[in-house]
């Protein structure tokens, strides 16, 4: 199965470099432009069997533009929603450092098993994204699937399927960017764990 992961278009929070996880805000004008351009490009490619989206508004709006261009219905999957970062939601890094100095000093958002209060750990995100990918592999062997999701979700998919976790915190998919990975049925259940450091390179 070929999985094409799209990060949703830009929002105001993205433009202002704010933590944006569970906050449910729309695309801004630039985000709508990004997705319109992307949708046009996707319409010229080989067909997709399924269009899947995170249920958060910014992803749904992005997927709806693609849906119109590809004539594919959007299927929502909570497994691919963005990581909830608790108390840090909506804050810039500077604001998070100032308001919660102890959490910031512990580098709390980059700890695998912990998260800011009220938030979700990276290990929890990895577990649910793993489950979502496993289901896609079972249901769509040999097909092309398009997934509209989020920055951390894209990081997790890339790390789990082809790149390992060595550069997890450095690598980033920009708004409107795409990641292509190939998921073979032979990987079911997929070796989804964050100890993997050496795998074949991801697709472009």
Which residues does 114 contact at the CB level (< 8 Å), separation at least 6?
Answer: 108, 121
The CA distance from 41 to 65, in Å, is 12
Please identify every residue annotated as catalytic: 8, 82
The CA distance from 136 to 156, in Å, is 15
Closest among 1, 30, 5 to 154, alpha carbons compared: 5
Closest among 90, 50, 55 to 73, alpha carbons compared: 50
């Amino acid at each position: 199965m070929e999985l094409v992961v799209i990060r949703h278009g830009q929002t105001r929070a993205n433009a202002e470099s704010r933590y944006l996880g569970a906050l449910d805000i729309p695309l801004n004008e630039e985000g709508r432009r990004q997705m319109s351009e992307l949708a046009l490009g996707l319409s010229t490619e080989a067909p997709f069997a399924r269009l899947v989206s995170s249920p958060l508004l910014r992803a749904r709006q992005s997927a709806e533009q693609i849906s119109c261009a590809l004539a594919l219905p959007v299927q929502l999957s909570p497994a691919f929603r963005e990581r909830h970062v608790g108390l840090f939601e909506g804050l810039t890094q500077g604001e998070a450092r100032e308001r919660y100095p102890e959490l910031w000093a512990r580098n709390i958002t980059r700890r695998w098993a912990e998260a800011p209060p009220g938030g979700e750990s990276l290990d929890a995100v990895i577990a649910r994204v793993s489950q979502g990918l496993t289901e896609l592999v079972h249901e769509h062997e040999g097909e092309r699937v398009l997934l509209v999701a989020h920055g951390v979700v894209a990081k997790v998919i890339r790390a789990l399927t082809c790149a390992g976790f060595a550069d997890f915190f450095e690598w980033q998919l920009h708004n409107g960017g795409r990641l292509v990975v190939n998921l073979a049925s032979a990987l079911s259940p997929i070796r989804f764990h964050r100890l993997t450091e050496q795998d074949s390179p991801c697709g472009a």
